[in-house]
Structure 1
Amino acid sequence: MSGRMSNGATGRPLVALLDGRDCTVEMPILKDVATVAFCDAQSTHEIHEKVLNEAVAALMWHSITLEREDLEKFKALRVVVRIGTGTDNIDVKAATDLGIAVCNTPGDCVEEVADTTVSLILNMYRKTFWLAKAVSEGKKVSGVEQVRELASGSTRIRDDTLGIIGLGRVGTAVAMRAKAFGFKICFFDPHLPEGVDRSLGIERCYNLDDILFKSDCITLHCPLTDETRHMINDMTIKQMRPGAFIVNTSRGGLIQESALGESLKSGHIKAAALDVHEHEPFDPLAMGPLSAVPNIIHTPHCSWYSDASCKELRLSAAREVRRAIVGRCPHDLTNCVNKEALLAGHTRRPTSSTSLAPNVSSSFNPLMPSFGTSIADGFNGLPVGGNLPSFPYSNPLLAMGNPLLNPLMMNPSTAALASFANAAANSPHSGPAAALSTLAAASSAMTTSAAPVARQSPAVQVAHSPKANNSSRTTVSPAVRPASSPDGPAEVKDGTPPAQQTASQHHLTSASLSAASPCKSPGASSLPKVPTISVDSLASVVPEESATTPVKLDAE
């Protein structure tokens, strides 16, 4: 699967936030290349039909699940970005079969999850949670006997063994923090190479039974797969030390909750702390295997959250969607979990190699090679793709295979440009002298034919031609970052407010480029009219201001 995504022949691609309503972080990154809508749904039954039919990209948190039957409801979907690390709420195999790229944001909340894990461990060892709860409920503690009674079971940390199952980003961060508190650290992770234990100064266990037997406290930091589901069950709990602790800030399905509940009631497991549960959202009032268990701490799947990490996660997800729109999907995606399978063609749904958003003028990227263009399709007869022969030089300024990188593209003399292109086409491998001679001739023509330029700002220059009936032609300085940068919209640092900058950039890519050139070569075609952005396809449900405001789309 390659190419860019499109939402039809003329409209912007539609991007939907499935299970949320706040798009304030995502809009600055996506507003110039896509229409953004939010659904605030908990299942696909609550998603608007327009999203199901037209959305080419979806953002989602952990509160909605996409199984095969859910994914099949989306008719145009090409990429799903999970805001967070885990993709266990997405049927990745089905998505691959349907030609849908699945992405995540794996590196943005490592510190928060590690800090929360250590916090829960300390709470269980020092009984902080239960002591605070007793005081808040009115328990008066005035003497040493009452302190002893209330704090009985508090445990010293030093020299206890913390077993970490899964030594990835979070597992490693937990190990480094726990060592500072005096824990001995051991870990089990069959996917890591030899020597990791020595580099970190911790002990390695080579099977699950070994780490369960050695550890005074177990913390889980592995993904939920068919192999890891219910890895903590009746049999494995019996192999743990009596009075051990269990912490889970990874995935609820790793623990068989019925087995954990029985072991907590019997005292074999001294205490447990769970930020994730088999069924979420967790209801403490519902009758389940963990109800009426006093020695357990429940938190609502929030170990990942801080104000900083939440913003970072959303920025990473929005940038991944932008890469899918202005780049090639899945080639240019940085965190696509099924990229290799998609590139290998393991999909049933026909895929397209055309542009993702060919009609969104603000997504034009001059640094991205175009494909399938010819001399007749280019600017004033000049190609914008790779069909011209290239000079055998390492200097990219002379590489006509991508003339958009060539400084002659700033030449107002289209005759000089045409001359240079014709010379390159007729003698593609002539010597350096001939090439430099042609370049010198073109530069000379540029010098003699260019109109005086009145410099207005470091970024934007306006040139007036007496032959253009006082019409102005605007050019962008090479110092300005292209508006289609995968990392976000360009910024014109001339004091223009952001909203006006966006409008200005759109003007530069449409009206300005269609202005008449002061010098035209005979027979040269006029500049192509860059199509303007249209959201007419959303007129019935999307207001006109949706270019800068997320749209709420409810199920009908």
Structure 2
Amino acid sequence: MKILCVNWQAADDAELERQHYPDVEFILARSTADVAAVLDPEVAKTVDAVINHSPTLNVPLPPTAFPNAKIAVRSGVGFDNIDTAGWGARNIPACNVPDYGTTEVADHAIALMLALTRGTYSYPAEIAVDGLEGWHFSKAPLIRRHKNATFGVIGLGRIGLAAARRAAAFDMRVVFYDPHLLSGVDLSTGYERVHSLNELMARADVVSVHAPLSTETRGLLGTEAFAAAKPGLIVVNTARGPIIDVTALEAAMRQGTVVGAGLDVLPNEPGDLDHPLIKAWRANEPWIKDRLIVTPHAAFYSPASMVDLRLKSIEVIHAYLTEGRLTNCVNREYLKR
């Protein structure tokens, strides 16, 4: 069994994978240049599976480059950067790994909220810069009580549900918007379902994004959504950057409708440091001071989650190639069987 690992992210040479799957031969390509150097057409013919390890980069070769491949995997939850239709046109399943890092991402979303609303981001910075002049409870602009505040979730999947549970533990009311979720889930969780994004925006004090990136969700939080928002809104995004129109977010923050944002993801990654919103934040302009937090697409990360991700990626392939057991398929609509 031969697996090509494209955009290989780990510092090691797949020792973990080789230890758990000694029957697999791994070909590692750390970059597009590595693919060209490592993968000639003769090697491509022998590949049984392809994995894309990058959360932002597409696999740099088309599915047709692998005539004998039987499965493709995106090593992560989001699968917007794997050619699901292209693999499906060849009747080859494309899969993801949705069951890793759930707790990490949910924790990160809540941590971003708390950093803004409890001042754990603002207070240390004020003291570090201004000394005793910064030693005062009023230095954090977004402090608020969580009990009875409304936590709005966009996308109540594994991670959205985990974030909702954490928010509920702070005695927050939870409402969610997920047009693709089957009816009845709100009854079993006790969370309230709303049937339009605008209603969620109008009711929520905090909105946390946990939806996949698709044509439907790209730019979902834009000018119209922010116009419908309850004044004083805080927005958190640990899902995919393009779901939020950051230009519209900047306008809403300048207007004061959105008073704070925690962004683990941006439309272009690594982050576009020249975007006006990011430039203003980096310059610590008064209107945005202590109101924006940016982290480097790190919500998924912990040493334990990386072990899970690496092994589960191979498990999906191994189960399919040895047992015919298909899990986590994201392109079933394109498959003939």
- Taking structure 1 as the reference length, what is the TM-score of the superposition? 0.55
Identify the match of residue 22 of structure 2 among 2, 25, 31: 31
SS of 1:55 mapped into structure 2: coil
Partner amino acid for 2:260? A
Q: CA deviation at 1:278?
A: 0.8
Q: Are 1:41 and 1:64, in contact at CA under 8 Å, matched by a contact in 2? A: no
Q: For 2:300 and 2:48, how far apart are their aligned partners in 1?
A: 28
- Aligned match of 1:337: 330
- Cα separation, partners in 2 of 1:59 and 1:325, compared to 1, 3 Å: same
Report the residue type matching 1:297 in the other structure.
Answer: I
- Give the C-alpha shift of residue 98 in structure 1: 2.9
Q: Is the 8 A contact 1:117 1:249 kept in 2?
A: yes
Letter of the 2:18 partner, please give it: M
Structure 1 distance, partners of 2:276, 2:86, is: 31
Match of 2:252 among 258, 263, 272: 263
**2:129 aligned with 1:141:** no
Q: Which residue of 2 aligns with 1:161?
A: 150
What count of residue pairs does the alignment treat as equivalent?
Answer: 323
Separation in 1, partners of 2:202, 2:33: 41
Mapping 1:272-283, distance limit 5 Å: 272-283=261-272
Amino acid in the other structure paired with 2:326 = L
Q: 1:220 aligns with which of 197, 209, 214?
A: 209
- CA shift, 1:225, in A, is 1.1
Give SS of 1:77's match: coil
Cα offsets for 1:183-236 (capped at 9, x unmatched): 111111122333322222221111111111111111111111111111100111
Q: Which amino acid aligns with 1:318?
A: I
Other structure's SS at 1:140 match? helix
Query: Structure 1 vs Structure 2: percent identity of aligned residues?
Result: 31
Please show how residues 524-535 of structure 1 align to structure 2 within 5 Å: none
- Distance of 2:89 and 2:259 partners within structure 1: 45
Counterpart of 1:197 in structure 2 is: 186
3-state SS in 1 of match to 2:136: helix
Pair 89,244 (structure 1): closer, same or farther in 2 beyond 3 Å: same
Residues 54 and 135 (structure 1 numbering): CA distance in 2 closer, same or farther, change over 3 Å? farther
Counterparts of residues 92-491 of structure 1 (less than 5 Å): 92-136=84-128, 138-141=129-132, 147-284=136-273, 286-293=274-281, 294=288, 295-328=291-324, 332-339=325-332, 341-344=334-337
Shift of 1:53: 4.2
- 2:76 match: 84
1:107 Cα deviation from its structure 2 partner: 1.1
CA distance 1:29–1:99, change in 2 (3 Å): farther
Match of 2:285 in 1: none
Query: Does the C-alpha gap of structure 1 residues 148 and 339 become closer, same or farther in structure 2, counting only changes over 3 Å?
Result: closer
CA distance in 2, matches of 1:81, 1:107: 14
Q: Which residue of 2 aligns with 1:65?
A: 58
- Partners of 1:66 and 1:60 in 2: how far apart? 6
Report the AA paired with residue 125 of structure 2. Answer: K
Please tell me whether the aligned partners of residues 43 and 64 of structure 1 are also in contact (alpha carbons under 8 angstroms).
no
- 1:71-129 deviations in Å (ceiling 9; x for gaps): 33334332211111111111211221133321111112111111111111111111211
Corresponding letter in the other structure for 1:180: A
Aligned residue for 2:280, secondary structure, equals coil
Question: Cα gap change, 1:197/1:70 in structure 2, threshold over 3 Å: closer, same or farther?
Answer: same
The CA RMSD measured in Å over matched residues stands at 2.2
Decide which structure has the larger Cα Rg and report it. Answer: 1
Contact 1:162 1:219 in 2 (8 A): yes
Structure 1 residue 46 displacement after superposition = 4.7
Amino acid at match of 1:207: S
TM-score, with normalisation over the residues of structure 2? Answer: 0.88
Contact 2:220 2:243 (8 Å CA) reproduced: yes
CA distance, structure 2, for counterparts of residue 71 and residue 130 of structure 1: 48
Residue 41 (structure 1) aligns with: 31
Kindly state the Cα deviation for residue 326 of structure 1 after the two structures are TM-superposed: 2.1
CA shift for structure 1 position 321: 1.9
In the TM superposition, residue 314 of structure 1 has moved relative to its aligned partner by 1.2
Secondary structure of the equivalent of 1:25?
helix
CA 1:155–1:193 in structure 2 vs 1: closer, same or farther (change >3 Å)? same
- 1:359 equivalent in structure 2: none
Q: Gaps (5+ residues) in structure 2? A: 282-287
Output the CA distance in 2 between the equivalents of 1:153 and 1:251: 25
Deviation readout 1:16-49 (Å, 9 max, x if unpaired): 21111531221123322x3212111157865633
Distance 2:168 2:118 in 1: 17
Decide whether the 8 Å contact of 1:19 with 1:63 is kept in 2.
no
Q: 1:343 to 1:98 in 2, by over 3 A?
A: closer
Q: Would you say the 8 A contact 2:127–2:133 is kept in 1?
A: no
Q: Does the Cα contact within 8 Å between 2:116 and 2:142 map onto a contact in 1?
A: no
SS in 1 for 2:304: helix
- Structure 1: segments with no counterpart, 5+ residues: 1-12, 345-556
Report how far residue 148 of structure 1 moved: 4.3
**More off after superposition, 251-260 vs 264-273:** 264-273
Distance 1:306 1:148, change over 3 A: closer
SS at match of 1:139: helix
Note if contact 2:7-2:59 (Cα within 8 Å) is conserved in structure 1.
Answer: no
Deviations 1:377-424 (A, max 9, x none): xxxxxxxxxxxxxxxxxxxxxxxxxxxxxxxxxxxxxxxxxxxxxxxx
Using a 3 Å threshold, how does the CA distance of structure 1 residues 238 and 47 change in structure 2: closer, same or farther? farther
Tell me, yes or no, if the aligned pair for 2:89 and 2:334 is still in contact at 8 Å: no
Contact 1:247 1:274 in 2 (8 A): yes
- Inter-CA distance 112–42: structure 2 relative to 1 (3 Å threshold): farther
SS in 1 for 2:261: strand
CA contact (8 A) 1:162 1:185 kept: yes
